Structure 1
Amino acid sequence: MRVWLVTTVASVCLMPGIALSQGAPAGSAVQEPASAEESTANGTGLEEIIVTAQRRVESSQRAAVAINVVDGAALLKAGVTQADRLNEQVPALSIQPTSTGNLIFIRGVGNFTLTQNSDPASAFNYDGVYVGRPTGTVGVFYDLERVEVLKGPQGTLYGRNATGGAINVIPVQPKPGDFSGHGSLSYGNYDALIAEAAVNIPMGDDGALRISGMRSKRDGYNRDGTSDEDIAALRVQLKARLTPNLTVRLAADHADLGGVGTSVGYDGHYVYNPLAGRYAFAPASVPASDGVLTPLAQAYRVTVNAGPAGRKLDPLAIAPYQNNRFYGANGLIEWTTPIGTLSVIPAWRYNKLDYLATSGAFGALQRETDEQYSLEARFAGNRVGSIDYTIGALYYHEDISADVALSTSASAAFSNARYVTESIAPFGRLTLHLNDRVRLVGGIRYTEDRKRFAGTSISGAIVCQLRVAGVPTCPNAPLFPVVETPAQFPFAFPAAGSPPVPLRVGGVPTGALLIRGDRNDDQRLTNRRVTYRGAVEFDLAQQSMLYASVETGYRSGGFSAATGFETYDPEFITAYTVGSKNRFFDNRVQLNIEGFWWEYKDQQVSSVRPDLAGRITNITQNIGQSRIRGIEVEARVLATPTTLISGDVQYLDSRNKSFTYVNQNSGVPPLTGCIATLDTAANRYNVDCAGKPGFNSPKWTLNIAAQQTIHVGDFDLVASADTQYRSSRYLGFLYLPEQRASGVWRSNAQLSFGPANGNWSIAAFVRNIENNRTPVFSSTQPIANILVSTRAAPRTYGARAAVKF
């Protein structure tokens, strides 16, 4: 354990223990907590938040893990309908929205790809079920109990692909014997309409049916209509206590994602200067908030060279859309026995994707089906002597079929692929109570992943052979349009195995060659790994706890349809954590401190670049090792019975210890903000990014919030405001100076009014008061070297009405 980690919480360890009136002794059963409104109104202090992050029910203040929790009321108040809005709530979290899903980073651990051949680095779990595809993380943010964000590897309880952490999205469950419900409707600028409703119908004293739904629709934030939202979702749950010892819950959900989808805007492009031996950046003559389809954006596009084609780009002649469908069904069977409780979770999820995206300033057409099914069983045994234990196993199967067609103007690619993953993982965890105040925790998990990849791909490239003053010049050469098959090109495409052919238009040579490449893949691999956790927990007082842990994580290896990079190995992370959780002054002050040190090795990083055959493709490779360390301090103060103040500050020091990859020599150095050295013998460039900070790793993140309740007779007027600051951070793989986002503040405010019993309320809100449309995702179009970015939402405002019964 690093010495500096111990010192980060030493001052807390030396604090005198202060017994709090609200706390339960260590190891005692957790009672159902009062709501935030009840706790504040009654003057009883800060509310308790119940979590299941460690596969058991406990107060978040008794969970000896690094965790942030956002309850359902806060999500509704913030208007969260998509995962990326969680960025505002959790300092350690960075979610980059794209047209095909969400790129999730926790303290810089994540990945820049949503392709089928790569797994996410943070586990996304919906209702206790692991969701394998980042595309499947939409349409679930409604009628939620809470969202738990676990920071750091979760190798024992959550398993594979949780090297960065885990996000647990937990819906409200049916409540037997209770007839209740709620509804809310908000409307704001950009014609934004969000409706959410739920009803809980009792079925006797031991059962209930819960039906909930959500509809969110608004215009695009970009001037070309892109970055809009069009979601409709429904969830149905049935829960029954069949016997005093047997409870069954069944759930099904469906979501439609329509509209145009998230897109990008132009930041500029890079031009190589052979005399200076470097690239110069030319800022775009169009605001990034235009998107890429306005007349102004199209006029800028046709001024940019189309790389090796020897001419300017054509306008984007496409109409992006998304027509994605998501389905799921899962169950929870709980059987209480004299020796413990058995929980069985069967689940099935199915995604059907059909979209045409412009998120890379080129057209990408994709039709994909993802199907997964899993079965998890856990047995939480009753205490045996001084030992609590949990044992279990998970079986997971995923099947992906995808057809992709894309065009970057001077290049095109068509692929048909199938990916199959089968994973098994037995696991166990035990807690040894040395005495009433000290506990030792140990956990272990064995994971075996079997994967198969089979597919075919066809690529095309247009390369100008004519030179004018040494510059490729083929103004009459056509470019690749976005089509579903090569047969739809407006010019003849070579047959498989053909050598490069002269490209002609109307029988007239253009001076360019048309090059075809074909690739067939049929690969298998198996990865096995043992991950573990060791921890010690010490109760300083009734509501003051100190903990220290070491935990390992593992992300499975996989495939790349790229020559020279066909497979990649698993990545690993080891996390050391020291923390303290405390409540003081009659439960009115909460202070949590966490110090962390992560060692990350064989880091998987994905990027779009030439493979060793010169084809532009997505490559995932083990190219890095990094060290991630820092401190996070979270405080909440109930200053008066009606005044709540909270703050969370994180200091993050993320640094690449090694970060190297190769880039095929195309005649000019690769575009990068790192050191590139030509290996003449191998005819390739070695790129070294060692010493650079990790991606999406702001050194400082600060969240501050305040809420004031004013009693007006039997009514409450509640004013709340919050602000977040994130310092500068790199958003893109190439570490270009223009991919470093500046530090930024974003603030929100809300004023609500309603009866003290909360049966109804009306509210007015404004978000992103500063109207900072800073970039949240940055990438380059690899042929034309265009830099594009996705921008944060602009200032939004509106009103909301809510009712519950």
Structure 2
Amino acid sequence: MTTMTPQLAGVRTPSSAPIRLAILTLLASIGTAHAQSASDPASPAAATPAAVVDNGRIAEVVVTATKRSTSLQRTPIAVTALTAATLADNHVQTLLDVVALVPGFQATAQGDHGVTTMTLRGIGNDSAKTEYADPEVASFVDNVYSPRAEGATALLFDVEGIEVLRGPQGTLWGRNSTVGAVNIQTVKPELNSRSGYVEGGIGDYNRIGTRGAVNVPLSETAALRFAVVHERHDGYVDYQQFPNPSIAQQRAAYLAAGGAAAGFRPINPNNYVSGGDKYSAQDQTAARLSLLWQLAPNLRWNIAYEKFIDRGTPSANLMQTPRPGQDHWSTLSDSSPWVNRDSDNVRSRLSWDISPDLALQYVAGWSKYSGDMRFDQDGGTIVPTSIISGGKFQEHTTTDSNYRSFSHEVLLQSVGTRAIDWQVGAYYGKEKNNIRFDIGGMNGTEDGTVAWQGSFIQPDQTVENSAVFGQATWNLTDAWHLTGGVRYTHDKRVHIGGRGYTWAYDASAPQLPLNPQIDPRDPVNGYQSGVPNDGRYSDNKATGLLRVNYDIDRSNMVYASVSTGYKAGGVQDRGLPYQPETLTNFEIGSKSTFMDGALRINNALFYMDFKDFQFNSPVSFSDGSRGLAIENADGAKVMGLETEIAARIAKDGRLSIALAVLDTKLGHLVAGSNDYALPPCTVDTRIETCLDVSGHKLPHAPKFSTTVQYQHTFRLADGATLVPRITARYEDDVSLSVFDLGPEDRQKAYASADLGLRYAKDKWWVDAFVRNVGDKKIKTSAFNGFGPWLAQYKPPRTVGVNTGFDF
């Protein structure tokens, strides 16, 4: 097997030469190694943290990617497993923090909704933050599908492990796992154990964090676990003082803009935010109550209720080139930000060992979400010259957003290793959503004249998904294994009563910024109803998997697979349908253990061929109305290499490396978007502006990215340990949109680092950390729809310390 890694590294892929050199150099120089581990979600934390393993080997990694508990090195798919210890070491709170630990994984926080969108292997959906668009990367908590993007931002507290599955996972994991799935496993109650932990922390930006959990036995057959977390910090973005022009200058600009002399009023500086909550503030609280009931020796029931509350603020649109005299982390804002989000979730898992050869699982989930928010879209890009001229006031307000969903899955599977290992199942899920969001737009200031305003009301949208699936592995010999799987899915989506209401330019109507107190359905307020959004969509699709894997010996395995993925079509604004997105993924991989268990190297080489790739964007239609358009590109092609290396350096050193190489190409697509200044559209007469982006690279898909982490344990004389660690990340330059409009629409290549130092003695510990040590300004999105280029950024440098103890 020692020749397998050079073979994979030598495949002709973009930038493969430096990767091959790096891997060969590493193999030649490293002596011993370490890896992460993950425990079976059906049992309480069973894996031994790698930090306490002292036999020179890497602790065994157990994953449930195939819906069975299997060793990572014997699981023939590309999966990254992160334990609770790894998450704690890297101060992971949301999926945004997981990005650096997984090859080919990207995630961004979209400021106008305060939600998380994910990209894996170069494929994602920046619009998967509303009721219209679905993600390509599915998220699960305890095997229960989280249907909306808001669920992905919930605090990752009392988590046993996270598995990131790369590549299509539709056969076993179901809908919207076109390019991957993220499965979060929470810590379960444990019988006959009274234990727990408490921790707290402080940091800059007035950060305060507390979390803890307690496990309480109720009887010999039942136990409860209660976990809670609260995290808050001030926003990173300061408010600029309004640079008030003189009254004479304002009057002249007002008259030049056509204002009536009798109606002149000076700009009110109090309309600009100077205090209160800043943008990018965190104020989140969550609690979970879990019950384990051993109903019988062969029957176990886990059920949990979780409450999540968010009272933070969205991220801010910041000027890429600040005005002279202004700080980068500041904004001239005329909209006070807020986020109010509440979610309730119930997750249940019933496990029945019918016989030594057969097991049945029933997994059910129910969730409820409600929220509202406000966000300054224009970012204060241009200072107004009068109340009606110069600048622009544009504000996004979600006045009401509600999601309800439930799901049921039954899985029957064989137990143990037999000539044929099999599992069959059925799934049903349903969502019911409603939303109203407003975009208020005024010339000059909020006291000016209406430029364009619109309210989008979707009172009733339902999504139903049902499926049957099966997968079997034929163990041809002790070494050869052949796996086949298929899933048949039926999707149904219905939109009823959806309307867009836009400003009718009625001179008799009061010209006020659109706000939740204005009912746009009443004509007296000056709005007109647009084209109805009513529509229905229904479709069926079969997806499948064929894989062969060969165990060269106990330490080395190779596999090859062909799998298909599917994301349903649906109904967009104006009731227009869009087509489903499909792909075929070809993949070969290897999983190897060297140096008597001290070094592990896992590789995956893949090629994905997309058909009818879905692209979403807000556009202006040729009749003057606006809405969200979903187009199907002719396709997209993605190829790449992912490598994960875990090593122990001597006895106390731990090294991990994750790297990814990507090459992406979009098929034929003429795309429009109001977020960008695009030329008039002559190809597609339905929309006002557009650009032919055929052949462009996909956004958020760097050609090369890598994360290297090293930590070393120093054992002190009193039995305590001191563990310094460093995490370094490098990423090639990357486009931030499909349009790729130049340097402003790209994030240039960068390197960043996080530092940590942990002191532990007995059951008490202290952990200090610095994130983004170099205070890099790393863009996650960019747009120029208001003229000057704006962007959203990852957080600046942050410093903090946590302490806690176990009991």
- TM-score, normalised to structure 1, is 0.83
1:712 partner amino acid: L
CA contact (8 A) 2:101 2:658 kept: no
CA contact (8 A) 2:34 2:647 kept: no
Compute the displacement of 1:478 (Å): 9.5
Measure the CA separation in 2 of the matches of 1:76 and 1:385.
38
Compute the displacement of 1:51 (Å): 1.2
1:411 counterpart SS class: coil
CA contact (8 A) 1:581 1:593 kept: yes
2:305 partner amino acid: A
For residues 295-314 of structure 1, the aligned pairs below 5 Å read: 297=332
Match status 1:135 vs 2:150: yes
For residues 243-254 of structure 1, the aligned pairs below 5 Å read: 243-254=296-307
Compute the displacement of 1:222 (Å): 1.1
1:621 partner amino acid: E
1:519 counterpart SS class: coil
Compute the displacement of 1:695 (Å): 1.1
Measure the CA separation in 2 of the matches of 1:524 and 1:490.
27
Compute the displacement of 1:261 (Å): 2.5
Measure the CA separation in 1 of the matches of 2:725 and 2:672.
51
Structure 2 equivalent of residue 791 of structure 1: 793
Compute the displacement of 1:284 (Å): 5.3
Deviations 1:528-584 (A, max 9, x none): 11000110111111021101111111111112214xx71211101111111101111
1:722 counterpart SS class: strand
Over 3 Å counting, the alpha-carbon distance change for 1:571 and 1:21 in structure 2 is closer
Measure the CA separation in 1 of the matches of 2:506 and 2:733.
40
Compute the displacement of 1:615 (Å): 1.6
CA contact (8 A) 1:365 1:404 kept: yes
Measure the CA separation in 2 of the matches of 1:199 and 1:776.
38
Match status 1:751 vs 2:804: no
2:791 partner amino acid: S
Measure the CA separation in 2 of the matches of 1:234 and 1:605.
37
Compute the displacement of 1:173 (Å): 1.0
1:597 counterpart SS class: strand
Measure the CA separation in 2 of the matches of 1:639 and 1:391.
43
CA contact (8 A) 1:265 1:288 kept: no
1:753 partner amino acid: Y
For residues 654-673 of structure 1, the aligned pairs below 5 Å read: 654-661=664-671, 671-672=677-678
Measure the CA separation in 2 of the matches of 1:249 and 1:437.
36
What residue ranges of structure 2 are gaps of 5+ in the alignment? 12-19, 28-32, 36-41, 240-277, 380-393, 443-450
Match status 1:122 vs 2:125: no
Over 3 Å counting, the alpha-carbon distance change for 1:463 and 1:736 in structure 2 is farther
Higher share in strand: 1
Compute the displacement of 1:47 (Å): 1.2
2:682 counterpart SS class: strand
Compute the displacement of 1:336 (Å): 0.6
1:408 counterpart SS class: strand
Structure 1 equivalent of residue 741 of structure 2: 736
Measure the CA separation in 1 of the matches of 2:320 and 2:102.
28
Measure the CA separation in 1 of the matches of 2:686 and 2:221.
71
Structure 2 equivalent of residue 301 of structure 1: none
Measure the CA separation in 1 of the matches of 2:301 and 2:519.
54
Structure 2 equivalent of residue 185 of structure 1: 200
1:427 partner amino acid: F
Measure the CA separation in 2 of the matches of 1:481 and 1:377.
51
2:8 partner amino acid: T
1:433 partner amino acid: N
Measure the CA separation in 2 of the matches of 1:552 and 1:198.
41
Structure 1 equivalent of residue 490 of structure 2: 448
Measure the CA separation in 1 of the matches of 2:5 and 2:584.
14
Structure 1 equivalent of residue 641 of structure 2: 631
Measure the CA separation in 2 of the matches of 1:725 and 1:754.
30
Find 1:93's aligned residue among 105, 114, 118.
105
Measure the CA separation in 2 of the matches of 1:632 and 1:288.
39
Compute the displacement of 1:6 (Å): 11
- Could you tell which deviates more after superposition, 44-53 or 393-402? 44-53
Compute the displacement of 1:670 (Å): 8.0
CA contact (8 A) 1:773 1:794 kept: yes
Over 3 Å counting, the alpha-carbon distance change for 1:360 and 1:76 in structure 2 is farther
Structure 2 equivalent of residue 801 of structure 1: 803
2:178 counterpart SS class: coil
Find 1:51's aligned residue among 38, 41, 63.
63
CA contact (8 A) 1:236 1:251 kept: yes
Count of residues in correspondence between the two structures = 716
Match status 1:723 vs 2:728: yes
Structure 2 equivalent of residue 435 of structure 1: 477
Structure 2 equivalent of residue 416 of structure 1: 457
Structure 2 equivalent of residue 150 of structure 1: 165
Structure 2 equivalent of residue 205 of structure 1: 220
Measure the CA separation in 2 of the matches of 1:135 and 1:359.
20
Deviations 1:693-739 (A, max 9, x none): 11100111011111111111211111111100111111124322111
Structure 1 equivalent of residue 261 of structure 2: none
Deviations 1:83-137 (A, max 9, x none): 2111222231111112421111112211121121111111010111101110122
Compute the displacement of 1:684 (Å): 6.4
Structure 1 equivalent of residue 280 of structure 2: 227
Identity %: 24
Measure the CA separation in 1 of the matches of 2:56 and 2:687.
71
Measure the CA separation in 1 of the matches of 2:283 and 2:607.
41
2:612 counterpart SS class: strand
Structure 2 equivalent of residue 346 of structure 1: 364
Measure the CA separation in 2 of the matches of 1:761 and 1:583.
32
Deviations 1:133-185 (A, max 9, x none): 10122224011111111111111011221112111111111111111111221
Structure 2 equivalent of residue 529 of structure 1: 541
CA contact (8 A) 1:51 1:59 kept: yes
Over 3 Å counting, the alpha-carbon distance change for 1:791 and 1:127 in structure 2 is same
Structure 1 equivalent of residue 616 of structure 2: 606
Deviations 1:259-296 (A, max 9, x none): 2222221237xxxxxxxxxxxxxx7557684454xxxx
Match status 1:368 vs 2:401: yes
Measure the CA separation in 1 of the matches of 2:685 and 2:461.
36
Deviations 1:453-505 (A, max 9, x none): 1134343358899xxxxxxxxxxx9976131265589996446xxxxxxxxxx
Find 1:257's aligned residue among 310, 313, 328.
310
- Could you tell which deviates more after superposition, 85-94 or 381-390? 381-390
Find 1:108's aligned residue among 72, 97, 122.
122
- Could you tell which deviates more after superposition, 452-461 or 605-614? 452-461
Over 3 Å counting, the alpha-carbon distance change for 1:525 and 1:767 in structure 2 is same
1:181 partner amino acid: G
Please tell me the root mean square deviation across aligned C-alpha atoms, in Å.
3.4
Find 2:701's aligned residue among 692, 697, 708.
697
Measure the CA separation in 2 of the matches of 1:148 and 1:750.
24
Structure 2 equivalent of residue 37 of structure 1: 51
2:561 partner amino acid: S
CA contact (8 A) 1:223 1:289 kept: no
Deviations 1:52-100 (A, max 9, x none): 1110111222211111122112222222222211122223111111242
Match status 1:327 vs 2:374: no
Over 3 Å counting, the alpha-carbon distance change for 1:117 and 1:10 in structure 2 is same
2:87 counterpart SS class: helix
- Could you tell which deviates more after superposition, 456-465 or 764-773? 456-465
Find 1:621's aligned residue among 620, 631, 644.
631
Structure 2 equivalent of residue 469 of structure 1: none
- TM-score, normalised to structure 2, is 0.83
2:89 counterpart SS class: helix
CA contact (8 A) 2:591 2:602 kept: yes
Compute the displacement of 1:663 (Å): 8.2
Measure the CA separation in 2 of the matches of 1:21 and 1:78.
16
Measure the CA separation in 2 of the matches of 1:9 and 1:742.
26
Structure 1 equivalent of residue 388 of structure 2: none
Measure the CA separation in 1 of the matches of 2:377 and 2:633.
25
Measure the CA separation in 2 of the matches of 1:285 and 1:35.
51
Measure the CA separation in 1 of the matches of 2:378 and 2:564.
35
